[in-house]
Amino acid sequence: MLHYTRQDIDKMEKIFRLNLINSCTGYKSANLIGTQSADGKTNLAVFSSITHLGSNPPLIGFVLRPTTVPRDSYRNIKASSLFTVNHIHHDTVADAHHTSAKYPENVSEFSKTDFEPEYIDGFQAPFVKDAKVRLACKFRNEYPIKENNTLLLVSEILSIHLEDGIIEGDGWLNLQQAGSVTINGLDGYAKPELIDRFQYAKPTR
């Protein structure tokens, strides 16, 4: 078995270290965050750090890299408090990954991909048209992570939009049926396969 110490990690070539540390914790969620600036410019960006924080109230969180360089998604979220989360479908991974390219502020990633913006029920931020799982969210708070100058953004789910046939009778979403993908590291996209579902675990001895 290979073994890397902290000293080994510190000495690694940058790209090797990025790939190793970003993939060693396992598969991550794969989502597109849609935002709109105060003057109506849309933005779309891939995020792999969105995670469940709680169900009542329904909260999610995601990590934003240091804001020492322009972050259009962050600026738009802070301006309006509103954004959308859209699952990435396995047929759209190339375009989804392309949203990570660093375009100028006045260039929308929607215009550089086949994704189309869609506005639902007057919600200000754009959804990704045809995404099978979509969330309308509102920013609630941010917490600086001083160890690496990143930010944890905490937000509330305001509404959920699902394609028919994804939700089961108990509220569980069949993401394999939805075609949702996961991210391995920085640039690897994978289709998860359901192994099984289990009952609530209780002590047996």
Hey, where are the domains in the chain? Answer: 29-190
The confidence score (pLDDT) of residue 204 equals 83
Global confidence as pTM: 0.94
Neighbours of 54 (CB within 10 A): 11
Q: Which amino acid is at 89?
A: H
Alpha-carbon distance of 196 to 110, in angstroms, equals: 37
Cα separation, 114 vs 86, whole angstroms: 15
DSSP 113: S
How many CA atoms lie less than 13 Å away from 122 in the CB half-sphere? 0
For residue range 132-178, what is the model confidence (pLDDT) as tens digits? 999 999 999 999 999 999 999 999 999 999 999 999 999 999 999 99
* H or E element at residue 40: none
How many Cβ atoms are within 10 Å of 172's Cβ, its own excluded?
10
29-190: CATH topology: Pnp Oxidase; Chain A (2.30.110)
Rounded Cα gap, residues 82 and 71, in angstroms: 15
